[in-house]
Structure 1
Amino acid sequence: MFKSLVSIITPAYNASEFISETIDSVKAQTFSNWEMIIVDDCSSDHTREIVRKEMENDKRIKLIELPQNGGPANARNVAINEAKGDFLAFLDSDDLWLPHKLERQLSFMEERDIAFSYTMYQMMDQKGERKVTLIHVPPSIVYKDLLKNTIIGTLTVMLDKRKTGNIQLFPARNCSEDYGLWLSILAKGITAYGINEELALYRKCENSLSSNKLKSALKTWNTYRKIEKLNIFASCWYFMNYSLRALKKHTNL
């Protein structure tokens, strides 16, 4: 149906507990023209062995083994540099996609000739049990909207790199590198468009950085100051808006 190749960007670090399930969710996609680039960030568990075994059965799966740990932003950049597809999709090593995710999103983007899209998603716990609340998304977001809101889930993003141009995450310490990337794209005047349809499952692990609300808030603040270079007054204004939306979001979970 579609000829476009989608490159799936997956950083992995000590992901042996979940990586097989994540790969299975990609292999189950109704759209089949994809490559999955898994960048192992010097894991100390069996992540690499699991991925190598998956590669034997499916040549669309590729493994890059880093000699030393550089963090998820660096791992994503390595995968982006190796990607052969016109479209990039992002999936962390513990999250899942529903079967129609790629087909539905690629159709949405090609029919509208857009550069950046994201979708609704559902939370699940560490055991994979779904929570009741869905994370609904707005129909579109521009740069100033996104400064007030971290609603875009990384596992739902798809980009047409022919329209976004070359992209790289900025690996700033204690910042939200993926959020910073979305902001850098929208700062070019690009609009991101949302599909208010559940197409992905986000695993909320108890020991993950994002599960710590204080750390997450600090990373957002540092993104304003270190990556976006906003002054203190603008940073306070956007952070207040972000905090109110985050409070509402987590209250409903």
Structure 2
Amino acid sequence: MPEVSIITPVYNSSKFLAQTIESVFAQTFTDWEWLITDDQSTDDSVKMIQELNDHRIKLTISEKNGGAGHARNLSLEKATGRFITFLDADDYWEPNFLEEMVAFMKKENAELAYSNYARCDENLSPKIEDFKADKEVTFGNLLKTCRLSLLSSMYDSQRVGIEFFPEGSKREDHVMWLNLLKKISVGKPLPKTMAKYRMHATSISRKKTNIMKDQYLVYKDFMKFSTAKSLYYTANWALNGFMKYSKLFN
């Protein structure tokens, strides 16, 4: 059994996939399995993955286009590693990411940890200041803002189990982290920048006003909060989202 399971959804990702592959193979920590699920791509993504000659890579091709959360779940069903981490097909890790995160998890006896990450343009050049892992994360403070990014986080599946992504939510990553933090008391910060996140101009996650309803449903439908409580946390999330991405506050 590998120490780490890397979970990656792929959908028409050939433009950036080569750099993501490069960042995984450059890792100084090598005891990993890479579970990739293709979500019915129509470009060369599958071919690029199939050409990789490494027994640690396990490719699944989804029978339907079900979205990133569904693709991640298909990979999670096959994960055998103790530590679970995520890397989308357009993101990038520094070579020491896995080594540093695993060491930190063990040293701190952490069930969940997250690091800084650089916020870059499509060429991986810095766009705004790095996002800082500067606070412990709890269920309570994660309700107001999602400090956990998939590409810079890791959890211990031996201690907390596998946490799957919800079907039917466009904010599936936030719901998943909230469900995970119902099981544990705290996620710990590692204040080192070890990943690069591409901030695409057309990214849905950047269009905050277009996903207010989806965020409201995180609280109303998935957390089962009252209407008033759901509106309260949606307002907090919107304010914190502005502060997270605005150059004025970074």
Identity %: 32
- Residue 144 of structure 1, CA deviation: 0.7
1:215 corresponds in structure 2 to 210
Q: 1:93 aligns with which of 74, 89, 94?
A: 89
- Residue 203 of structure 1, CA deviation: 0.7
1:77 corresponds in structure 2 to 73
Large movers: runs of 4+ above 4 Å:
none
Note if contact 1:42-1:69 (Cα within 8 Å) is conserved in structure 2.
yes
Note if contact 1:139-1:195 (Cα within 8 Å) is conserved in structure 2.
no
Structure-2 separation of matches of 1:43 and 1:116: 32
- Residue 215 of structure 1, CA deviation: 3.0
Q: Under a length normalisation based on structure 1, what TM-score does the superposition of the two structures give?
A: 0.93
- Residue 204 of structure 1, CA deviation: 1.3
Note if contact 1:22-1:96 (Cα within 8 Å) is conserved in structure 2.
yes
- SS of 1:127 mapped into structure 2: coil
Note if contact 2:2-2:33 (Cα within 8 Å) is conserved in structure 1.
no
2:173 corresponds in structure 1 to 178
- Residue 232 of structure 1, CA deviation: 1.2
Q: What runs of 5+ residues in structure 2 fail to find an aligned partner? A: none
2:220 corresponds in structure 1 to 225
Structure-2 separation of matches of 1:219 and 1:126: 26
C-alpha change, 1:34 and 1:76, in structure 2 (3 Å) is: same
- Residue 206 of structure 1, CA deviation: 2.1
Note if contact 2:219-2:225 (Cα within 8 Å) is conserved in structure 1.
yes
Structure-2 separation of matches of 1:143 and 1:197: 23
Structure-2 separation of matches of 1:128 and 1:105: 22
Structure-2 separation of matches of 1:221 and 1:14: 29
- SS of 1:109 mapped into structure 2: helix
Structure-1 separation of matches of 2:113 and 2:102: 9
Q: How many residues are aligned here?
A: 248
- Residue 166 of structure 1, CA deviation: 3.1
Alignment RMSD, CA only?
Answer: 1.6
Note if contact 1:38-1:62 (Cα within 8 Å) is conserved in structure 2.
yes
Alignment of 1:138 onto 2:134: yes
Q: Under a length normalisation based on structure 2, what TM-score does the superposition of the two structures give?
A: 0.94
